[in-house]
Amino acid sequence: MSLRVAVVGASGYAGSEILRLLLGHPAWAEGKLEISALMGASTAGQTVGELMPHLPQIADRAIEPTDVDALRGMDIVFLALPHGHSAEIAQAVGESTLVIDCAADFRLRDSAQWEKYYGGTHAGTWPYGIPEMPGHRAALAATRRVAVPGCFPTGATLALLPAVKAGLIAPEVTITSITGVSGAGKKAAVPFLGSETMGSLKAYNTAGKHRHTPEIAQNLSEYSEDPVTVSFTPVLAPLPRGILTTASAPIQEGVDEDRARAVYEEFCASEPFLHLLPAGQQPQTQCVLGSNMCHLAVEVDEEAGRLLVISAIDNLTKGTAGAAIQCMNLALGWEETAGLPMAAVAP
């Protein structure tokens, strides 16, 4: 008997990427997983072929209006909705259903931080979907509710986590992330038109205003004796997808590049989706395109006394949908890497 899957918000960028990965999953090919419902709002009634022609296997399927009653019969529900819309649906779905939320509704533990950055009532906190964070893999394997991380926090957390956990740095980090326009979602908005973005770079939500700032701080503080302060600057670039993150922090006394590299080598050795590049080689977004990989480079700036870590991820794969599928695999007891590409599309 196959597991029944629903994707709510199926025609958005996150939803369509979840579908792409599901269609490449061995469980779908073997008939163990059935894509039973594709739900949406403004696109209801249109077909996948019209909206997402890159998914020919289900081109004749129609997007249905979101129906909470229909979701109750599903084994797995992916929520790819704007922030603030997941809680009501999740509460109506039975506890035995695996619900994987790609929005921010259940990521933060501090309700005051939720209210400050998102507004409204905090819905609660679910197991957090970065399996590479020590302790999280076991929690994800034992849950039926998953909060998928934000794309910026994924790149930043994976960049700095080994250093924070090993005590290589002071808990004061500076992060700049350059992102493609798909991170803003699939909506018509003037700032994201091609004529507004091509040939231009723009910082936005600076000086602690970006909603992902408290999420990054929460993740890193989990492995630090003292709370980690985060100065985060996102930059919009004329790319369809991809995030390049540059993260730095003051090094602790006695830390040199050999020590830092040894820590990162040890941390990455057992993680299938982390790839530490050889010394002198830098991550590039084009080298992770369409993959669930995070490429890393680590250096020590001795003159400045700072650790420098650079990461590259695909914001729609490792940063969103890939994390969702990775967490699904863990929660179902399947091979964690199943259906998740490690090789990127190049050039």
Distance CA 279, CA 276 (A): 9
**148-162 core/surface letters (b: 16 or more CB in 10 A; e: else):** bbbbbbbbbbbbbbb
pTM: 0.94
What is the pLDDT at residue 317? Answer: 97
The CA distance from 1 to 125, in Å, is 32
Q: Which of the two residues, 162 and 90, has the higher pLDDT score? A: 162
Q: State the average pLDDT over residues 177-181.
A: 91
Give the model confidence (pLDDT) of 195-217 as tens digits: 777 888 999 999 998 999 999 99
Using pLDDT thresholds of 50, 70 and 90, give the confidence band for residue 193.
Answer: confident
Which pLDDT does position 347 carry in this prediction?
A: 82
Which residue numbers are catalytic? 151
Q: Do residues 220 and 157 make contact, with C-beta atoms less than 8 angstroms apart? A: yes
Specify the range with the lowest mean pLDDT, choosing from 137-141, 237-241, 279-283. 237-241
CA end-to-end distance (rounded Å), the chain: 40
